[in-house]
Amino acid sequence: MCGRVFVKSTLAEMVRSLGFADPAAIGPLDNSFPRYNGAPSLIYPVIVQDEAQTGSAMFVQAKWGLVPAWQKEAAPGRPPPVNARSETIATNGLFKRAYAMRRCLIPIDGYFEWKDIHGTGKDKQPYAIAMKDGAPFALAGIYDIWRNPETGELLRSFCVVTCAPNELMATIHDRMPVILAPADYARWIGPEADPADLMKPFPSELMTMWKIGRKVGSPRNDTPDILDPIE
């Protein structure tokens, strides 16, 4: 799964690095980034195909944790899903509409995963995972827009698509987020209904990971030293 990310750049730097997307609709997120310990339920900048159907890409704000447009209430007694499995995303009733019509890119600098050391779930070692060259990258996501039936207020939300692990990630976990190559960004957010072949493990040789301290376990800890490697 993927339940925690980090973004070391400012919002302005992120926009510049992904210059193909129009930042006009992103809104006031400047004070939220960098974010060294990004958790679900927070607001993130994601890239979608222009919702006016012009065919271009645009930055928008979205909350991590998918609330489908057809759902009657925003929080129906359970946390919204933060991940969607690639193997069932096209058929699962919770995800299939968003997958077919509303896919997004989630720009990050890296993410965190925990290795279950003894197989009991009681002792886990956190790792930070990033690109070997340190460059930002984009996760594959789906999003939807839910309208509050009482107030008419719109909530845009998303979740991260996951797949089987590559050789690197398999040493610590049985899932990983779908990481997209830049050449596939336009296709992922484009009109194609089922770009299934893009939901695959990213090449291990382009990635790196390192052990970090357990401070990352609490989202309240949001400082650069979270990324410091440990022996």
Q: Is the pLDDT of residue 53 over 70?
A: no
Q: What is the pLDDT of residue 121?
A: 66
Q: What is the pLDDT of residue 28?
A: 73
Q: Is the pLDDT of residue 212 over 70?
A: yes
Instruction: Read off the pLDDT of residues 8-20 as tens digits, 9 standing for 90 and up.
Output: 988 888 888 888 8
Strands laid side by side in the 124-131 sheet: 35-38, 5-7, 110-116, 124-131, 207-211
Cβ atoms of residues 158 and 141 within 8 Å: yes
Helix (H, G, I), strand (E, B) or coil at 85: strand
Q: What is the pLDDT of residue 54?
A: 67
CA distance 16 to 23: 9
The predicted model scores a pTM of 0.94
Q: What is the mean pLDDT of residues 145-163?
A: 94
Q: What is the pLDDT of residue 160?
A: 98
Averaged pLDDT of the chain: 92
Domain 5-114+135-202 CATH class label: alpha beta
Q: Is the pLDDT of residue 109 over 90?
A: yes
The continuous run of DSSP H or E covering 96 comes out as helix 96-101
Of residues 56 and 169, more confidently modeled: 169
* 189 residue type, one letter: I
Angle at 17 between CA 220 and CA 29, to 5 degrees: 40
Q: What is the pLDDT of residue 137?
A: 95
What percent of the chain stands above pLDDT 90?
75
Helix (H, G, I), strand (E, B) or coil at 98: helix
Q: Structural domain boundaries of the chain? A: 5-114+135-202
